[in-house]
Amino acid sequence: MKKTLLLTGFIVLLGFNLSKAAKIQADSTFDIISTYEDTLGYLSYLIVNDSLEESRFRAVNKFIPTLVKALKVKNSFDYPFERLKSISIQYPADSTFRIFTWQLYVNENDYRYYGAIQMNTEELKLIPLIDRSFEIEDIEHTTLGSQNWYGSLYYNLKQFDTAEGKKYLLFGYDGYRFFTKRKIVDVLSFKDGKAVFGAPVFVSEDPDNPFLPKSRLLYTYSAEASVKVNFDGHLGLIIGDHLIETTSSIASQGPVKLPDGSYEGYKLENGQWVYVAKVFNHIYENEEATRQQPLFDESSRKKRKNIFGNK
Q: Is 181 helix (H, G, I), strand (E, B) or coil?
A: strand
Least confident of 50-59, 133-142, 294-303: 294-303
Q: Considering the entire predicted model, what is its pTM?
A: 0.82
Average pLDDT, the chain: 86
Task: Specify the higher pLDDT residue, 302 or 200.
Answer: 200
Closest-CA residue to 200 (of 229, 173, 167, 238) = 167
Q: Is the pLDDT of residue 47 over 80?
A: yes
Q: Any bridge partners for residue 182, and if so which?
A: 174, 220
* pLDDT band per the 50, 70, 90 thresholds, residue 25: very low
Q: Is the pLDDT of residue 132 over 60?
A: yes
Q: Is the pLDDT of residue 33 over 80?
A: yes
311 Cβ neighbours under 8 A, 6+ residues apart: 303, 304, 305
Q: Is the pLDDT of residue 302 over 80?
A: no
Task: Specify the higher pLDDT residue, 228 or 18.
Answer: 228
Q: Give CA–CA dist 66/62, Å, rounded.
A: 6
Q: Give CA–CA dist 41/35, Å, rounded.
A: 10
Q: Is the pLDDT of residue 94 over 80?
A: yes
* pLDDT band per the 50, 70, 90 thresholds, residue 140: very high
What element of type H or E holds 32? helix 2-49
Report yes or no: 42 and 67 within 8 Å, Cβ to Cβ: no
